[in-house]
């Protein structure tokens, strides 16, 4: 099978489940070869690799909460699977940072700064330095609508680090687009994954604020990501695309 991503070798972080899994599948469906990253769910990552067959280069485990994890992951992925053409920064965590709880506030900020901001920025840095020597490459970051509209009162930390990722991606896109390095960012609202609200009351409230009347499906994130990685619209580099059912319109 050939497609617009044939010949592209893509590292997808957090690919063992949810949106990351859908992104990996969408890339493979268009001919891309995927490195499936996971943190703890090795069995799920290996099951996905089996499903993708020849379009899975392999699986790689790495805890993105550790110091310099992003740089190490990129180096290890290239050492194991060869030169990479694209990066999808999908892995992320959602932690509360309530004002009235010192322990949660501190832990939530520390964990999210490491996983949601430092690791993807380190990965972008490593990828860009590699791509510059090879004549180009592509990066897609999965951020959140919270970067622009904010989040609930107990999730200031989450909103702040996602805003930081958006700003870093814009900065690097402006700096390196002339070298053939294309960087895009998606800012979804709720996605139908295990991070979405599950309690009845919370679910009703989440859907009620979405004019479309439904949370996004992981396959929607996968489809947009795969399209951007094809390079069909290089002038869109630096763009931030909202996928939130018109729940936040800029």
Just list the catalytic residues. 158
Identify the sign of the CA torsion 213, 218, 224, 227. Answer: negative
Contact 8, 33 (CB under 8 A): yes
CA distance 183 to 201: 37
Torsion of CA 234, 235, 240, 241, to 10 degrees: -80
- Residue count (the chain): 250
Residue 48 and residue 97 in contact, taking contact as beta carbons nearer than 8 Å: no
Question: Nearest CA to 145 among 17, 235, 217, 241?
Answer: 241
Please return the burial class of 201, using the count of CB atoms within 10 Å of its CB with bins 0-12, 13-18 and 19+: exposed
Q: Helices (DSSP H) in the chain: which residue ranges?
A: 18-29, 42-52, 69-81, 102-112, 119-134, 146-149, 156-176, 200-208, 218-229
Q: Give the SS3 label for residue 12.
A: strand
Residue 42 DSSP SS3: helix
């Amino acid at each position: 099978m050939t497609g617009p991503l044939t010949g592209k070798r893509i590292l997808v972080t957090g690919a063992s489940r949810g949106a990351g899994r859908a992104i990996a599948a969408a890339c493979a469906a268009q001919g891309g070869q995927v490195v499936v990253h996971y943190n703890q769910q090795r069995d799920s990552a290996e099951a996905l690799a089996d499903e993708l067959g020849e379009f899975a280069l392999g699986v790689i485990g790495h805890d993105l909460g550790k110091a310099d994890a992003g740089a190490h992951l990129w180096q290890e992925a290239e050492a194991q699977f060869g030169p990479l053409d694209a990066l999808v920064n999908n892995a992320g965590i959602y932690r509360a940072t309530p004002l009235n709880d010192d322990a949660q506030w501190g832990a939530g900020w520390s964990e999210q700064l490491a996983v949601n901001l430092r690791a993807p920025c380190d990965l972008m840095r490593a990828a860009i330095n590699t791509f510059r020597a090879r004549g180009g490459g592509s990066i897609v970051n999965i951020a959140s609508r919270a970067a622009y509209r904010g989040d609930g009162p107990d999730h200031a930390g989450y909103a702040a680090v996602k805003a930081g990722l958006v700003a870093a991606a814009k900065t690097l896109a402006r700096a390196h687009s002339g070298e053939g390095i294309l960087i895009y960012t998606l800012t979804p609202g709720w996605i139908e994954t295990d991070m979405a609200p599950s309690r009845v009351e919370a679910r009703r409230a989440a859907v009620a604020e979405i004019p479309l009347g439904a949370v996004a499906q992981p396959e929607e994130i996968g489809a947009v990501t795969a399209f951007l990685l094809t390079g069909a619209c290089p002038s869109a580099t630096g763009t931030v695309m909202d996928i939130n059912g018109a729940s936040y319109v800029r």
